[in-house]
Chain A
Amino acid sequence: MSAFGNILLGGIFHAAVLFLVAAGLQLVFGVQKIVNLACGSFYALGAYFGITFVTLALKAGMPQWTLLPLLLVAGAVMAVVGPPIERILRTVYDRDESFQLLLTFAMVLMFQDIIRFLWGANPTSLDNVQLVYGKIVAGDFIVPVYNLLVIAAAIGAAALIGLFLQRTNYGRLLRATAENRTMAEALGVNVRGIYAAVFTLGTLLGTVGGALVVPTAAASLDMAVEVVIEAFAVVVIGGLGSMAGALAGSLLVGLIRAGSLVFYPEFEILAIYLIVIGVLLLKPSGLFGKPAA
């Protein structure tokens, strides 16, 4: 039973981080209709900057218990890259999807070089701070409290995004723009402003996701591409543009991966893509996606 708990929590932890990145991807696609491959780069930037920020803050005398708030701040600060990137993307809003994909892929490569220039080519990590909040031990069931806090942060982010989109006026404007940009613009909605805000929020989700994962992992140049591949599996399963889909897709991917590592480790990747293929065959729009008109 305790082994099952460890496996379950391992899967949910992976899903939590994946959800943050996938949610950013979904939000941007849902409103701006751009498949933003650079969301992986935002994740990597959050991770690298999180390490730098926390290291400097702890050296400056901040107590260790501030780790989580420091990482959240680092992720938030790094979201400043969102607005200038969105400004560049304006040039391809009305162009073919292939242009958008090419441009955002170019950004992935550019950010990889920027990271190499700023932080070097070697993977980097925080010192052993994952256990700063202790761990919960019950027999063989052992989980670092930090992992639970990350899961809680992802649940909190999902709830806040839901409330923001459903219950606030700005959220309604945002949904209206997502439904019909031309009509929203004709009714006086500042679509350009909404696009900038949505893209920055999408960036924030990615940078915060990256910052939160570093105490348990390491930042590396390849992490941007790796997370994008998984995030796309999430999006295909959940449905492109759907936040509920991002949540369901992340959970499925995280849990399937954790389960396959126990029962048949060779199937770790295959199991995820079998689900992707199944969804594409049975419900091409994804579990929560709207069928194409």
Chain B
Amino acid sequence: MKLSRRTVLKSIAATGAAATSPGVFAPAIAQAKPCRLGILAPRTGIAASPGISGLRATEWAVERFNAGGGIAGRKIELVIEEETSPKDTIERFQKLVQQDKVDCVLGIISTGVALALGPVVEESRALTIFWDGTTQDGVEEKLPNARYLFKSTDNECEAVMSSLLAIKHWKGQFKRIAGINPDYSYGRNNMAAFIALLKRFNIEHEVVTEQWPKVGTMELTSNVAALKAAKPDLIFSSLLFADLPVFMKQAAAAELTKGIKLVFPAAGFQHTLMKKDFTPEGMLFGHNTLYFDNPNATPMAKEFVAWYADKQKDYPNWEADRAYFALASYKAAVEAAAKAKGSAWPSNDDVIDAMVGLSVESLGGKGSWRKDHIADQTFVQGFSTHNNKYDFVTLDPARIETMYSADLQKPAGANFWEWLKTAQFKI
């Protein structure tokens, strides 16, 4: 950077101001330029809805952080790229790192993309924080010693929580169980986790049918008929895309949902589409790491939801929390590392070291980072109710359950299925 009399004077003035304002970061010479953050998120396709939710939360956070001085004195500037196929997303990631020279990359929802991108992140030595992507093939960690990459909580957290809640509240009230889950590792592992936990807690059960519609299947009449024919007492489903409200509509029309227990750990992904007309009360309904109408939410979360409702005419799902958590974690780590270095902008290594063990208040509650660079976050589930001002179901305020993912995901290096057999669950 070329130094001029003006920039030097500006820096001296800024340093002086910082010295008299504790807690406010001084813009050092290198900090005059904005902090560029690369975002990789889907804005089209089946994951567009969560992608857009995450992008809106990012924009809200950037506005808020910039109003407070940015990150360690540098204003945030976003460079947004699309998350699509693994190959194309890797190319865009490289463009962000090499051409746009971003300070950090955030985003990624699909674990399929995340698995392919993980090794590229490590090779590029570019600090990257995934919103919702893991580097697990199924439940097996493929990048256990990541240095530059920080990953989301395990995908099975919500299924483990729902299973524990179903056992806690409905033990002895069901025997015949059925499943309708998306036909990829997420759906398969969630259903398997539910069955494994039933076995673990000695719950007598019989799997009467397991339906595996392809992701995005929109005509589920025959699946509903098959479920009805199996006469289940309980249906477990981790449908979470646009096929979920379609299924609920068809299930309600066929009276499949009448009088049986419903366990839907990921229903919160489509919460505003789960209309009262066809979504029953009393179903176990997962909102993952953000429940927009949580009576126990922090003032910041309430402010965010109000902003979202006002500006977007919508209510956020958990991807908004994941995006906020990633950005707030980066900001907190940079500022902690900068403080340790006497306000100089820290290196990537300093930021990475500061991230480990860091705890941040996110929109959905507390979140923190484990030594193996996997997030721990607060999960919210509960029982659906029609008693609200919306045209869709929310959670019965008296029956909201909150769990921290430290109790829901396997520890570093553990085998998921073995961990399910031995973990000490708090139910």
Contacts and interface: CB of A to CB of B under 8 A. Distances in A.
A223 B215 CA distance: 12
Contacts of B219: 14, 17, 213, 216-217
B411 interface: no
A7 interface: yes
Given A221-B45, A222-B216, A125 B228 contact: no
A265 B249 contact: no
B221 A147 contact: yes
B226 A122 contact: no
Contacts of A128: 249, 252, 275, 277-278
Interface string B191-217: 000000000000000000111101011
Interface in A236-261: 254, 257-258, 261
B48 interface: yes
Contacts of A14: 219, 221-222
A13 interface: yes
Contact size range, B: 35 or more
A142 B277 contact: no
A10 B246 contact: no
A135 B223 contact: no
B258 to A, nearest CB: 10
B228 A216 contact: no
Contacts of A13: 221
Contact size range, A: 35 or more
B221 A216 contact: yes
Contacts of B220: 217
A266 B212 contact: yes
Contact of B216 (A147, A220, A257): A220
A218 B250 CA distance: 11
Contacts of A94: none
A219 B246 CA distance: 10
B224 interface: yes
A6 B227 CA distance: 10
Nearest to B45: A121
A262 B226 contact: yes
B79 interface: no
Given A218-B245, A258-B225, A131 B253 contact: yes
Contact of B209 (A142, A216, A265, A269): A265
A102 interface: no
A23 interface: no
B46 interface: yes
Given A220-B218, A221-B45, A7 B254 contact: no
Contacts of A131: 253
Contacts of A213: 219
Nearest to A11: B222
Contacts of A221: 44-45
Contacts of B137: none
Contacts of B61: none
A96 interface: no
Contact of A140 (B45, B223, B228, B253): B228
A83 interface: no
Interface string A10-31: 1101100100000000000000
Contacts of A222: 46, 216
Interface in B155-212: 209-212
A4 B231 CA distance: 13
B381 interface: no
B303 interface: no
A37 to B, nearest CB: 19
B242 interface: yes
Given A121-B48, A122-B48, A222-B216, A130 B209 contact: no
List the 3 closest A-B pairs by CB distance, nearest first: A123-B242, A3-B229, A10-B225
21 contacts: A3-B228, A7-B222, A13-B221, A116-B44, A121-B45, A123-B46, A125-B249, A135-B253, A142-B255, A143-B254, A144-B254, A216-B219, A216-B249, A217-B220, A218-B242, A218-B243, A257-B222, A261-B223, A261-B225, A262-B209, A269-B214
Interface of B: 43-46, 48-49, 209-212, 214, 216-226, 228-231, 241-243, 245-246, 249-250, 252-255, 273, 275, 277-278
Given A122-B49, A220-B46, 10 more contacts: A3-B228, A9-B225, A10-B221, A11-B222, A14-B222, A218-B243, A222-B46, A222-B216, A258-B225, A262-B209
